[in-house]
Amino acid sequence: QLERGCALHTAHRDGLSSVSSQDVPERPRAVFHTSESDPAKHTEQHEGRLYNIPLEEVNAVFPHGLPQRFQQQIRTFNEARVMVRKPALELLAYLKGSNLTHPAVRYVIYGERGTGKTMTLCHVVHYCSRQGWLVLHIPDAHLWVKNCKELLQSSYNKDRLDQPLQASVWLKNFKTSNERFLQEIKTQKKYMWGKRESTEEGRPLMEVVEQGLARVRSASDAVGVLLKELKQQSHRGSFRLLVAVDGVNALWGQTTLRKEDKSPVSPEELTLVHNLRKMVKNDWSGGAIVTTLSQTGSLFKPSSAYTPQELLGKEGFDALDPFVPIPVPNYSAKEFESCYGYYLERRWLQHEKARTEDGKAELQFLSGSNPRQLDRLAGPL
């Protein structure tokens, strides 16, 4: 109890110092909030605090990146608050100090179920979009290897299979987040879409995306062309590229899809997965690759698996090796305090016993300081 009081005290002192250095807000927000909404300026001082992302930015930067529960929370509370945590600060420090002329460094965020890996990825994506990087955000690679209604044989390569629906959905979301880059970057080769349509050399990449959206049959090829162009042009330095993949273990696992003769499809036979694998290889420079492992959407993996070795398998590990592993633990005592305080302040914890010390201790014990369990427990309370 004594150390809890001390932690709150130091946080209060830090809060006072950070508030006095910036403009004083209209009404005093509590200790666990910070008015610093630019991830570039987040330091250890802001650890455990929640920062606000304005709603217009959320729609522009994250058309498809945020987890479902978090999107519901944004709608209920009318604001998007993300907690600044140690793994995210570590990643941001690496990105700030990285040399862009060297080949792209791969970062793998791993951790147990529900500890905040996707939210860390979203924090990094927000930082990069604020800094003006081109963000290639794949919200969940598992969506591309399961539950596909239509599988077309690819016209480019006879062995591979196309997924028009998934590719077109992704292209649409990619267009909303990176409009201005697509106007500036030009293609370097002529591409033929079938017998009659083609994109000339030197046209902006927006036309490739429009082509993919208009002709859904060639959407996967459009995605492939987009990735190839971005990879070739990133080393020039006119833009910096961030490849953010959530659930990267889907690229090297198994799929639940079957061909028409009921034989199983392996991931290499899908065009989207094939192109993404080339993107995640570190043979290009001028950016970074940040990936997340995920057991929740994974196929044929036990639920207790969370380490890179278990989830990626031998093939995936060798393909991603060398990488920088970033473990994401459960909430520390300070982070739990701030999350609990935020729920109380937003009137999310309505039960009268939830405000007492007993209720708080019970919540901490039942959730084991796991962010997802805490969210699910606090729902009905």
Partner 1 sequence: RIMPVRWNRYDPSYLEPEVKKESYQRPLEELTEEEREQMELKAVRLIKAAPPTLSSSVFSDPMISKFTNMMMKSGNKVLARNLMSQTLENIKRKQLEKYHKAPENEKETIECNPYVIFHQALKNCQPIIGLSNITRGGKTYQVPVPLTDNRKRFLAMKWLITECRENKHRRTMMPEKLSQELLLAFNNEGPVIKRKHVLHKMAEANRAYAHFRWW
Least distance CB 27 / partner 1 (angstroms)? 14
Give the DSSP H/E element, type plus range, for residue 71.
helix 68-77
Nearer to partner 1, 59 or 350 (CB): 350
Site size toward partner 1 (CB under 8 A) is: 19
Nearer to partner 1, 256 or 356 (CB): 356
Nearer to partner 1, 262 or 347 (CB): 347
Q: Strand order in 324-327's β-sheet?
A: 134-138, 241-246, 287-292, 105-110, 324-327
Least distance CB 237 / partner 1 (angstroms)? 46
Nearer to partner 1, 267 or 371 (CB): 371
- At a CB cut-off of 8 Å and minimum separation 6, what does 316 contact? 248, 249, 251, 252, 253
Least distance CB 363 / partner 1 (angstroms)? 9
Nearer to partner 1, 69 or 236 (CB): 69
Return the bridge partners of 138, or none: 245
Nearer to partner 1, 183 or 350 (CB): 350
Least distance CB 302 / partner 1 (angstroms)? 21
Nearer to partner 1, 75 or 196 (CB): 75
Q: For residue 322, is the peptide bond before it cis, meaning its omega torsion is within 30 degrees of 0?
A: yes
Least distance CB 76 / partner 1 (angstroms)? 5
Least distance CB 374 / partner 1 (angstroms)? 14
- At a CB cut-off of 8 Å and minimum separation 6, what does 58 contact? 66, 74, 80
Least distance CB 72 / partner 1 (angstroms)? 7
How far apart (Å, rounded) are the C-alpha atoms in residues 272 and 221?
Answer: 8
Surface-to-core class of residue 152, CB atoms within 10 Å of its CB (0-12 exposed, 13-18 middle, 19+ buried): middle
Q: Please name which of 278, 272, 281 lies closest in space to residue 145, comparing C-alpha atoms.
A: 272
Nearer to partner 1, 41 or 351 (CB): 351
Q: Which stretch binds partner 1 (CB under 8 A): 105-113, 186-194, 218-226, 373-381?
A: 373-381
Return the bridge partners of 161, or none: 153, 270
Nearer to partner 1, 78 or 304 (CB): 78
Q: Single out the residue of 30, 332, 359, 372 in contact with partner 1 (rule: CB under 8 A).
A: 359
Residue 362 lies near partner 1 (rule: CB under 8 A): yes
How far apart (Å, rounded) are the C-alpha atoms in residues 250 and 278?
Answer: 14
CB 100 within 8 A of CB 237: yes
Q: What angle do CA 361, 365, 367 make, to 5 degrees?
A: 120
Least distance CB 306 / partner 1 (angstroms)? 24
Residues within window 319-358 making contact with partner 1, judged by CB under 8 A: 347-348, 350-354, 356, 358
- The 10 Å CB-count burial string (b at 16+, else e) for 328-365 is bebbeebbbbbbbbbbbeeebbeeeebeeeebbeebbe
Least distance CB 167 / partner 1 (angstroms)? 30
Least distance CB 361 / partner 1 (angstroms)? 9
Residues within window 27-46 making contact with partner 1, judged by CB under 8 A: none
Half-sphere exposure of 282 (CA within 13 A, CB side): 19
Residues within window 178-217 making contact with partner 1, judged by CB under 8 A: none
The phi and psi torsions of 44 (rounded to 5 degrees) equal -60, -20
How far apart (Å, rounded) are the C-alpha atoms in residues 158 and 259?
Answer: 13
Nearer to partner 1, 239 or 348 (CB): 348
Residues within window 68-87 making contact with partner 1, judged by CB under 8 A: 72, 75-78
The phi and psi torsions of 349 (rounded to 5 degrees) equal -90, 105
CB atoms within 10 A of CB 321: 11
Q: Which residues are at the interface with partner 1 (CB under 8 A)?
A: 72, 75-78, 347-348, 350-354, 356, 358-359, 362, 379-381
